[in-house]
Amino acid sequence: MDFYGGIKRLQEGLASGEWTASDLVGHSLATIETYDAQVKAFLRLDGEGASSKVARVGNNGCAPETYESHETVHPTRSPLAGIPYALKDNLCVTGMETTCASQILRGYIPPYSATVVERLERSGGVLMGKLNLDEFAMGSSTENSSYFVTRNPWDLSRVPGGSSGGSAAAVAAGMVPYTLGSDTGGSIRQPAAFCGVVGLKPTYGLVSRYGLVAFASSLDQVGPLTHSVEDAATVLQVIAGFDERDSTSVKVDIPDYTAALTGDIRGLRVGIPMEYFDTGMEEGVRRSVEQAIATLRELGAQIKEISLPMTRYALSAYYLIAPAEASSNLARYDGVRYGYRATDPANLLDMYKKTRSEGFGPEVKRRILIGTYALSSGYYDAYYKRAQQVRTLIARDFAAAFAEVDVIVSPTTPTTAFAIGEKTDPLTMYLNDIYTIPVNLAGLPAISVPCGLVDGLPVGLQMIGRSFDESTLLKTAHAYEQAAGFSSLRPTLVKEVR
């Protein structure tokens, strides 16, 4: 038994009695024990809680006769019942420490669970624990965690990407079949590309953000990291849907995402943005993506070159908007209400200063300073307001493109996973998100799927869809995945141990 065969195969084994939900939890714990001392994906493990959940779900993985998903009661067993999973540690779980990999939240125990966690709980999912990330999801390598650096299972000397690096590494190493991460500027798709797994960033508003610790509220979105596109569709089916507790949640009909995975994309119009293939891309990445485009053409898709001219301004706009929202969101961490409080302050103001100085790491402080400056009197119009205007133009670029094509295809990242400690300059690190950031600014759905190996390291192919058209996006990604065959690849670490 392993978790690489997919959620559907695990459910078949549960239904036939080939294994039990206790067996799956035991396998997850054993795999974590084998690999996590090297990978360091987990911030905290809850084996006791997982075993307790199995006792409630039942050893054959049968949840109650109905399960709830996006406010609909389904008269069938949940596709996730009895299946282990893990969460990025910026998603709240009742009674379980949530730190966002920051010292300022050390010891914080939420009194409530995120909506996505409640939906997975109702579906019978078995939570194994919380995963490492860049502090407050600010970073592209998981080197900014205040606890430890997570390593890439394909090469332990390299980063797993970020900020959902722990989420991607745990799936790649086979510790759990799926995880949830959050994506503010590429934080699901970029680590998925680096770790050779599937990462889906849904349309903004499709999945509730209630219980997700906010970084940049107009950009953050929760999504799954999995071994296959089918698994991503299965998880999305459960977590998607309107939530009245989230003011940014959108009421839309939720289709059957797995039913869309027909494998037939003949006549599909695929756009190739020429701006994404300018300088800065590694040659091996370029070759892999061009081969993927050729595969889509062989499957019957119509390939069309398009232009997204405002792409050149996306990075600049993002690094004004995201830090500005972070500056506002992180103002609540002051040592008064929850989390860390500095000892022996001289007065109230000194407590604020010492708490935030000692509790936040360098990258978080950097972004708070940038954001506070951009929002300050006299600079708001010149920076934040102008960045929002550019954001509107980027969204218009995509709208114009989707009048001509159904899906847009690009590299997920310009390079493969880089070495730990290689990108010490923040600006160099920020450039790693150049292909993913425009998607968040426009609020669109996107997915990263493996499209090859370069020097033994995975390459990710990004596909971008229309708002709330995850069905077409997943159909395209699944057809490519089945034709290309890269979903069968396994990290070096796993192959060496086995």
299 token code pair: 């499957």
Alpha carbon 51 to its chain's center:
26
Q: Answer yes or no: are the C-beta atoms of 173 and 494 closer than 8 Å.
A: yes
What pLDDT does residue 57 have? 72
- Of the candidates 40, 88, 130, 475, the residue annotated as catalytic is 88
Any catalytic annotation for residue 187? yes
pLDDT at res. 459: 98
The DSSP element (H or E) to which 367 belongs, if any, is: helix 362-375
pTM, two decimals, is 0.95
* pLDDT at 73 (0 to 100): 45
> What is the rounded distance in angstroms from the CA atom of residue 434 to the CA atom of residue 295?
24
Name beta bridge partners: 120: none
Could you tell me the residue ranges of all domains in the chain? 7-270+403-497
CATH architecture label of 7-270+403-497: Alpha-Beta Complex (3.90)
User: 200, 156, 127: which is closest to 40 by C-alpha?
Assistant: 156
Annotation marks residue 88 as catalytic: yes
Say whether pLDDT at 385 is over 60: yes
> Cα separation of 3 and 425, whole Å?
37
Nearest 10 degrees: Cα torsion 16, 18, 22, 27? -140
Closest Cα partner for 48 from 65, 25, 70, 32?
A: 25
Q: Which of 163, 182, 208, 249 is catalytic?
A: 163
pLDDT digits (tens, 9 = 90+) for 33-74: 999 999 999 999 999 999 998 987 766 655 544 444 444 444
Tracing tokens 């929202």 back to the chain, one arrives at 325
Which residues have a Cβ under 8 Å from the Cβ of 342 and sit 6 or more positions away? 335, 351, 354, 355, 357, 358, 359
Residue 378 gets the label, from left (phi > 0), alpha (psi -120 to 50) or beta, of left
Geometric angle at alpha carbon 176, from 263 and 199, rounded to 5°: 45
Q: Which of 42-51, 186-195, 331-340, 388-397 has the lowest mean pLDDT?
A: 331-340
> Of these residues, 141, 187, 208, 410, which one is catalytic?
187
Which of the 8 DSSP states describes residue 429?
A: H
State pLDDT tens for residues 429-477. 888 899 999 999 999 999 999 999 999 999 999 999 999 999 999 999 9
Closest CA to 3 of 128, 177, 153: 177
